[in-house]
Amino acid sequence: MPKVRTKLVTWEEVHDWAFRLARLIEDSGWRPDAVVAVARGGYVPARLVCDVLDIHDLLSVQVLHWGRAAEITAKAHVKYPVPVKLEGKKVLIIDDICDTGDSLIVARKHLEEAAAPAEIRTGVMQWISSVAKIKPDYYVEEVKDWVWYQYPWCRVEDTTNFLEKIVAETGRHEWRFDELVETFKEWYGIDVGERVFRAAIEKLAARGVLKVGDL
């Protein structure tokens, strides 16, 4: 059994979810004038939804919350605000996943105060209903058992963080490449591919976190 429940998400799945999210919005009879992506996880889904719905006004707000993969390190707060007024507009906030819900709550409150749009709705690909403080207006999948979605746009970043956790928890800093990869697969139950493993390991080696003899 893996130590952290993790799902490896493919680009095809992202495309499919974004299409389905766009259809849900369309079928509800509501058409946003602008989309606000919650950076950074909301970027790709927001861009794809804009593509399907033919929306050209795409902005973003950066909310920081999670630090290392699968670990909450700080309170959600706005790092980069929306710098314009959106008075009279219907705005759709898009994020990849609603886990605790904090980022969406903070993004929504910020938008209300800073941009004053006529209406705000929220949309995500995944909604973890067992832990989320809010229910997004639109979601593609309701997830009941918490799992870390390893989205394809942050493969190297998540892998780096997951490997760092292995080093920290085992207290072992020197590894053989195959051995480290096998341990990763056991702990997380996913295979991110050799190129991603190498990129992540090189980063950690450069930072002096670990040493892999046969890299």
Q: Would you tell me which residues interact with ligand ADP (CB under 6 A)? A: 38, 41, 65-66, 76, 95-104, 124, 148-149
State in angstroms the smallest separation of the CB of 5 from ligand ADP: 9
DSSP 8-state secondary structure symbol assigned to residue 118: S
**Quick one: 124 or 212, whose CB is closer to ligand ADP?**
124
Q: Alpha-carbon distance 152 to 51, whole Å?
A: 19
Output the six-digit token pair for 156: 């190297």
State in angstroms the smallest separation of the CB of 147 from ligand ADP: 6
Residues 6 or more apart whose CB falls under 8 angstroms from that of 171 comprise none
Decide: helix, strand or coil at residue 203.
helix
Query: Are 96 and 125 within 8 A, CB to CB?
Result: yes
**Quick one: 157 or 212, whose CB is closer to ligand ADP?**
157
**Quick one: 50 or 98, whose CB is closer to ligand ADP?**
98
Amino acid identity at 133: K
State in angstroms the smallest separation of the CB of 30 from ligand ADP: 20
Q: Alpha-carbon distance 98 to 109, whole Å?
A: 16
H or E stretch covering 107 = helix 102-115
Decide: helix, strand or coil at residue 120.
strand
State in angstroms the smallest separation of the CB of 145 from ligand ADP: 11
State in angstroms the smallest separation of the CB of 59 from ligand ADP: 16
Pairing of strands 6-8, 148-150: parallel
State in angstroms the smallest separation of the CB of 194 from ligand ADP: 23
**Quick one: 154 or 166, whose CB is closer to ligand ADP?**
154
Q: Alpha-carbon distance 35 to 91, whole Å?
A: 6
**Quick one: 165 or 212, whose CB is closer to ligand ADP?**
165
**Quick one: 28 or 130, whose CB is closer to ligand ADP?**
130
